[in-house]
């Protein structure tokens, strides 16, 4: 039973390494934000400005306006790249860790979570803050969901595959094109793009099988699920966009 649960946990961890769903959960718990599924633009909650507090914190740490922060991020930069100096970047990370720890303490004091869970979440805070600072940004920043928080995971791979600069790709996505649309416009093979985006996780799955942590069947199921999810993702124009059957099934 313990081994089975461990394998399930590992499989889930491998999936969220790419899709960042697992990063979103501890982040949201630390921030006191309820976890919600993706919604459509018809739902006003879709465009909820979940990053407003982060924008303010970044602006204060970097000595710039929140508008400058959002503009810089939406045009391709990550939070780390936007930092004027390494010292200001470290100051931002320290402040974000402090804020999240304070929210966890408040959740414990309010009886929302147990003290043990709070201690566990605090152990995750430095990792989630580092993930956010390293990968947060891009044209999906501020569009709800976790889209803006995983930009750094896939932007360089996608831009390289499409033979574009990060700035050019970000500009196209910010203008309303999906990543799949951009690939089509450049005559790129979309299936090849999906494979490129998943190359790293496929290597980890293969390693997990070789180590006996996953069976080949489990790895195949995870791989197939990821391929479907990423194929859908690249034909969205942001985390809150609608997906038509024709675009999903291309």
* Rg, the chain, Cα only: 19
Residue 109 has pLDDT above 70, yes or no: yes
Q: Supply the angle between the helices 2-19 and 190-210 in degrees, to the nearest 10.
A: 150
Structure tokens at 173: 């996505």
Give the least confident one: 87-96, 111-120, 167-176: 167-176
Break the chain into its structural domains and give their ranges.
Answer: 2-248
pLDDT of residue 18: 41
Q: Which residue has the higher pLDDT, 137 or 51?
A: 137
| Average pLDDT over every residue of 71-100 | 95
For the chain, what is the mean pLDDT? Answer: 78
Half-sphere exposure for 189 (CA within 13 Å, toward CB): 4
Q: Could you please report the per-residue DSSP string of the chain?
A: -HHHHHHHHHHHHHHHHHH-HHHHHHHHHHHTPPP-----TTSGGGG--TTHHHHHHHHHHHTS-HHHHHHHHHTT-BHHHH-SSHHHHHHHHHHHHHHHHHHHHHHHHTTSS-HHHHHHHHHHHHHHHHHHHHH-BSTTTTSSTTGGGSHHHHHHHHHHHTT--HHHHHHHHHTT--HHHHHHHTT--HHHHHHHHHHHHHHHHHHHHHTTSS-HHHHHHHHHHHHHHHHHHTTSSSTT----HHHHT-
- The count of C-alpha atoms lying within 13 angstroms of the C-alpha of 166, restricted to the half-sphere facing its C-beta, is 18
Q: Average pLDDT in the 18-42 region? A: 36
Tell me the mean pLDDT in the region 76-94. Answer: 96
pLDDT score, position 232:
84
Question: Token pair for residue 236?
Answer: 């969205």
Q: Is the pLDDT of residue 95 over 50?
A: yes
178-218 pLDDT, tens digit each? 899 999 999 999 999 999 999 988 899 999 999 999 999 99
Rounded distance, CA 25 to CA 48, Å? 17
pLDDT digits (tens, 9 = 90+) for 118-157: 999 999 999 999 999 999 999 888 665 556 888 998 899 9
50: confidence class by pLDDT, cuts 50, 70, 90: low
CA–CA gap between residue 125 and residue 110 (Å, rounded): 19
């Amino acid at each position: 039973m313990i081994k089975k649960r461990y394998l399930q946990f590992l499989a889930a961890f491998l999936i969220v390494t790419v899709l960042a769903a697992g990063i979103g959960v501890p982040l949201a718990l630390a921030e006191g934000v309820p976890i919600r599924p993706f919604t459509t633009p018809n739902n006003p909650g879709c465009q909820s400005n979940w990053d407003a507090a982060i924008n303010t914190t970044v602006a204060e740490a970097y000595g710039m306006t929140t508008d400058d922060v959002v503009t810089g991020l939406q045009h391709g930069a990550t939070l780390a790249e936007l930092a004027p100096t390494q010292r200001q970047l470290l100051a931002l990370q320290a402040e974000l860790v402090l804020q999240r720890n304070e929210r966890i303490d408040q959740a414990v004091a309010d009886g929302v979570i147990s003290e043990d869970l709070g201690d566990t979440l605090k152990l995750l805070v430095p990792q989630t803050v580092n993930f956010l600072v390293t990968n947060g940004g891009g044209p999906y920043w501020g569009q709800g969901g976790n889209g803006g928080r995983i930009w750094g995971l896939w932007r360089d791979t996608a831009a390289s595959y499409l033979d574009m600069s990060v700035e050019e790709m970000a500009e196209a996505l910010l203008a309303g094109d999906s990543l799949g649309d951009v690939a089509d416009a450049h005559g790129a093979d979309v299936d090849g793009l999906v494979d490129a985006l998943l190359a790293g996780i496929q290597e980890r799955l293969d390693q997990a099988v070789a180590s006996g942590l996953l069976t080949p069947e489990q790895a195949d199921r995870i791989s197939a699920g990821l391929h479907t999810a990423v194929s859908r993702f690249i034909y969205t124009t942001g985390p809150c966009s609608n997906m038509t059957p024709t675009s999903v099934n291309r």
